[in-house]
Structure 1
Amino acid sequence: MDLTVIWAFIIAFAVFAYVVMDGFDLGIGILFPTFEVGPERDRAMNSIAPVWDGNETWLVLGGGGLFAAFPLAYSVVLPATYPLVIAMLLGLVFRGVAFEYRWRDPSHRRLWDAAFTGGSLVAAMAQGMTLGALLQGVEVVDRSYAGSWFDWLTPYTLLTGIGTVAGYALLGATWLVWKLDGEGQAHARNLGIRAAWATLVLMGAVSLYNVFLNAEYAARWMTAPEIYFAAPVPIITAAIAISLLRTLKTERHSKPFWLSIALFFFGMAGLGVTMWPYVVPPGITIWDAAAPERSQIFMLVGVAITMPLIIAYTAWAYWVFRGKVGHEGYH
């Protein structure tokens, strides 16, 4: 049993859970200016009120897991992306403060709504650009980051950032399709169709860019026998995309959201195929960056206890607040 591989999948699962769960929160913030001031905005906000702060648990688990299980990767990735990480954290802070204060300070609600949108947009863009900075490669010398302060700022990272914003908008729109009814749901459905097309186009653009970004990435997708293992990912993704667009045009409620999650899952699977076995391309593999085996075993015991608890209370929260959002005007 390879503990390093197990930890790689644990962190990948935590990142995926964060992207999906906090993604629709951020997506609602990104779409917030398109909602009518008043009941429509309030209902959109109320749809995430019971769960939004718990969703960020997975960010802590993913970041803490990377620090504990792959300390070398942590020590390289953070210096390479400090401005993006700082921007993301500030965006999340502004989003969280605005979420609470827009209800407690109605006289400045426009300001808090702008902070909610701005924080969500900055956080989403920073997360996407961080992914792009990692994929394009990080300069490492003597097990330390050796690049400049702005190596993360390239056309490729801007593309991945915009793609992440579009993807989160899709998650937010499909979540509202599920949680709202009437005119609010119809509006969310129209936004979902637009966000779906934008997400698919940008996913295709990033995938094509990856082929030309790195010869090793191209070999993963274009040469045998690797292509036989990688080919199912884009095929299944295309099938999910077609089904998603169809369900957004029909009177389905929850199905568009689940299909959006599936789209993200196979998008991340494609990234995994592209990067494996590197945790910091192009030179640090998961085994190079791994903590000692005893440390991995010790932490695995803790994760085996805490992760089921996190999953259980998260599932319980979503179950308790299932169903459509009412028309009441309170938070």
Structure 2
Amino acid sequence: MEIFDLTLIWAGIIGFGVIMYVLMDGFDLGVGILFPFAPDEDSRDVMMNSVAPIWDGNETWLVLGGAGLLAAFPVVYSVFLPALYIGVFLMLAGLIFRGIAFEFRFKSHRNRHWWNRAFCWGSTVAAFAQGAVVGAYIQGFAVEDFVYVGGALDWLTPFTVLTGLGLVAGYALLGVTWLIMKTEGHIQEWAYRLAPRLLIAVLAVFAIISLWTPFVDEAVRERWFGHLYLIWIFPVLALLCAYWLWRSVQARREGQPFIATLGVFVFTYLGLVVSKWPVIVPPNYTLWDVASAPESQLFLLLGMLFVIPIVLAYTAWSYWVFRGKVRVGEGYH
């Protein structure tokens, strides 16, 4: 019973860390994806200044989730890394380019256009790689005796390309609703005009993936059509949030579109979790199959009980300090 309880607690911690990263780093990746489409260079200054004070703190959740996964479920690492090595490398390379662009764009005048490109392409590649990894998780891995036996590019399929593009569109939607909340004037109007188009793109990809997934994973198909009363509530709630987003954009609300977009992501994520639960290394290995020793889980859990409140407090404080609108000529830099 002790192992069961600790495993579930760690699954909750890692799941919380993953969704916090997706929500909080997703919108600043989205801002980078939108960079080439901004109305002018002043708009790009405002866009970058809207996320510059908080982007590095947002990525804390990636580190926390990754470290927790290694500690509590080491077998997941031994399978995922060889299976997804190229995808993970692309994600990290994109994050590095994006981070460098944050620091150098405002210090360079002659080569600023190159840093604009680095910010955009770094954000887009990182978002695509994350979406492709999610698609690879849905379709499963070739595993024998807890060892990955597939090829280095098995993760790259038409399905994972679609999930990668879907997350790019989703992050762009998060980014544009963030800009609605944080900007004003012609930048905000541009964001208002762009938000419905991105919402339509996200819903289209969401529909295609939903139709495709039952053909990719037989277990998901059986669960979807065997437990309709439980699982289908999450896509319904996600669609309700999408409708709320549409109406709030039409009504020119400022904060509601961003909150509604967060809801779309949360309920889509919960739908994925419920569809695969309790499998963590698909198609066959559950949380308890790949969990570390209970002594290790308990020791590291005590550390997490101190770290998570500190990260939450730091995050809340940074967002509070840098609350309000970002205007041309003002900002973190």
Q: Is the 8 A contact 1:26 1:121 kept in 2?
A: yes
- Does 1:185 pair with 2:180? no
Give the letter aligned to residue 324 of structure 2. G
Instruction: Give 1:235-246 correspondences, 5 Å limit.
Output: 235-246=236-247
Instruction: Return the offset for 1:51.
Output: 0.2
Q: 1:156 aligns with which of 144, 155, 159?
A: 159
Q: Which amino acid aligns with 1:310?
A: V
SS at match of 1:279: strand
2:207 aligned with 1:204: yes
Equivalent residue runs for 1:69-88 within 5 Å: 69-88=72-91
For the residues of structure 2 that align with 1:13 and 1:55, how far apart are their CA atoms?
Answer: 13
Asked whether the 8 Å contact 1:177–1:253 carries over to 2, the reply is yes
Deviates more, 1:182-191 or 1:311-320: 182-191
Q: Determine if the alignment matches structure 1 residue 121 to structure 2 residue 121.
A: no
Structure 1 residue 45 and structure 2 residue 64: aligned?
no
**Aligned position for 2:141:** 138
Q: Aligned partner of 1:213: which letter?
A: V
Match of 1:35 in 2: 38
- Residues 215-254 of structure 1 mapped to structure 2, 5 A cutoff: 215-223=218-226, 226-254=227-255
Q: What's 2:256 paired with?
A: 255
5+ unaligned residues in a row in structure 2: which ranges? Answer: none
| 1:310 aligned partner | 311
d(CA) in 1 for partners of 2:192 and 2:304?
38
Mapped to 1, the partners of 2:315 and 2:330 lie a distance apart of 25
Q: CA deviation at 1:277?
A: 0.6
Q: What percent identity do the matched residue pairs reach?
A: 50
2:296: which partner in 1?
A: 295
Question: 1:247·1:256 contact (CA, 8 Å) conserved in 2?
Answer: yes
Give runs of ≥4 in structure 1 deviating > 4 Å: none
One-letter amino acid matched to 1:280: V
Q: 1:291 & 1:190 partners in 2: Cα distance?
A: 49
Q: Secondary structure at the match of 1:81?
A: helix
Tell me the residue number matched to 1:273. 274
CA shift at 1:153, angstroms?
0.9
* Alpha-carbon contact 1:179-1:324 (below 8 Å) kept: yes
| Paired residue secondary structure (1:25) | helix
CA-to-partner distance for each residue in 1:167-220, whole Å, 9 max, x for gaps? 000000000000001111010111211111111111121121111112210111
Aligned 8 A contact 2:184 2:327 in 1? no
Contact 1:73 1:284 in 2 (8 A): no
The residue type equivalent to 1:243 in the other structure is W
Distance in 1, matches of 2:113 and 2:223, equals: 49
Separation of aligned partners in 2, 1:129 and 1:231: 24
What amino acid does structure 1 have at the position aligned with 2:176?
A
Is contact 2:43–2:328 with CA below 8 Å preserved after alignment?
no
**TM-fit CA distance, 1:326:** 2.2
Whole-angstrom distance in 2 between the partners of 1:192 and 1:280: 35
Q: Distance in 2 between matches of 1:162 and 1:38?
A: 26
RMSD between superposed Cα atoms in Å: 1.0
CA distance in 2, matches of 1:265, 1:140: 29
Which runs of structure 2 are paired with 1:84-103 in the superposition (5 Å)?
Answer: 84-103=87-106
Query: Residue type matched to 2:16 in 1?
Result: F
Matched-pair contact (CA < 8 Å) for 2:26–2:175: yes
2:225 counterpart letter in structure 1:
M
Distance apart, 1:38 and its partner CA: 2.0
Deviations 1:89-113 (CA, angstroms, capped at 9, x unpaired): 0100000101111111111000000
C-alpha displacement of 1:329? 5.2
Q: State the partner residue of 1:282.
A: 283
For the 8 Å contact 1:124–1:161, the answer to whether it is kept is yes
In 2, distance between residues paired with 1:238 and 1:154?
27
Identify which range, 52-61 or 197-206, moves more after superposition. 197-206
Q: Distance between the aligned counterparts of 1:61 and 1:168, measured in 2?
A: 21
Distance in 1 (alpha carbons) for counterparts of 2:87 and 2:97: 15
In structure 1, distance between residues paired with 2:224 and 2:212: 12
Residue identity opposite 1:251 in structure 2: R
Query: What is the TM-score with the length of structure 2 in the denominator?
Result: 0.97
Corresponding pairs, count? 329
| Residue pair 2:75, 2:291 contacting (<8 A) in 1 also | yes
